Structure 1
Amino acid sequence: MTVPITINPKHDPLELSAQLQKHGRLQVANFFSEETADYLYRLLQENKQWHLAYNQGDNYYESALAEFQNLPPQKKQGFMNGIFSGARDHFQYVFLQYYITQAIELKENQGHPMHAMHDFVNTEETLNFMRTLTQEPKIRKADAYASSYSPGHFLTEHDDRHSKHDRVAAYVVSMTKGWNKNWGGHLAFYDEVGNIKEAFVPSFNTLNIFLIPQSHAVQQVAPFAGHARTSYLGWLHR
Structure 2
Amino acid sequence: MDLQASLIELSPDLDFTAATDSFARTGRAQIVNFLTDSSARRIRDMLERGTAWSLVWTAGQGPPEVIRPEALVALTPDRARAIQAALATAMASGDYAFCYSTYPLVQALLERWAPGGPHEQLLTDLNQPALLDRIRRLTAIPELVKADGQATLYRPGHFLARHNDSEPARGRRVAYVLNLCGDLDGAPWRPEYGGMLQFLTDAGDPDETLLPRFNALNLFAVPQHHHVTSVAAFAPATRYALTGWFRDRI
**Structure-1-length-normalised TM-score:** 0.94
Q: 1:40–1:48: structure 2 CA closer, same or farther, 3 Å change rule?
A: closer
C-alpha distance in 1 between matches for 2:145 and 2:81: 43
Describe how 1:138-217 pairs up with structure 2 within 5 A.
138-178=143-183, 179-217=189-227
Q: What is the CA-CA distance between 1:54 and the residue it aligns to?
A: 1.2
What SS does the corresponding residue of 2:215 show, helix, strand or coil?
strand
C-alpha distance in 2 between matches for 1:130 and 1:81: 41
**1:75 aligned to 2:79?**
yes
Instruction: Please tell me whether the aligned partners of residues 56 and 67 of structure 2 are also in contact (alpha carbons under 8 angstroms).
Output: yes
C-alpha distance in 2 between matches for 1:114 and 1:204: 20
Instruction: Please tell me whether the aligned partners of residues 131 and 138 of structure 1 are also in contact (alpha carbons under 8 angstroms).
Output: yes
Deviations 1:47-96 (A, max 9, x none): 33111111242312211134234222232112211122122221111100
C-alpha distance in 2 between matches for 1:61 and 1:79: 10
Counterpart AA for 2:162 = E
User: Which residue pairs with 1:94 in the alignment?
Assistant: 99
What SS does the corresponding residue of 1:236 show, helix, strand or coil?
strand
What SS does the corresponding residue of 2:40 show, helix, strand or coil?
helix
What SS does the corresponding residue of 2:243 show, helix, strand or coil?
strand
User: Which residue pairs with 1:43 in the alignment?
Assistant: 46
Deviations 1:116-140 (A, max 9, x none): 2210111111110110011000001
Work out the percentage of aligned pairs sharing the same amino acid: 28
Instruction: Please tell me whether the aligned partners of residues 54 and 72 of structure 2 are also in contact (alpha carbons under 8 angstroms).
Output: no
Q: Name which of structure 1's ranges 98-107 and 51-60 shifts more when overlaid on structure 2.
A: 51-60
5+ unaligned residues in a row in structure 2: which ranges?
Answer: 184-188
C-alpha distance in 2 between matches for 1:80 and 1:158: 20
Q: What is the CA-CA distance between 1:15 and the residue it aligns to?
A: 5.1
Question: What is the total number of aligned residue pairs between the two structures?
Answer: 238
**1:118 aligned to 2:118?**
no
5+ unaligned residues in a row in structure 1: which ranges?
Answer: none
Alignment RMSD (CA, Å): 1.5
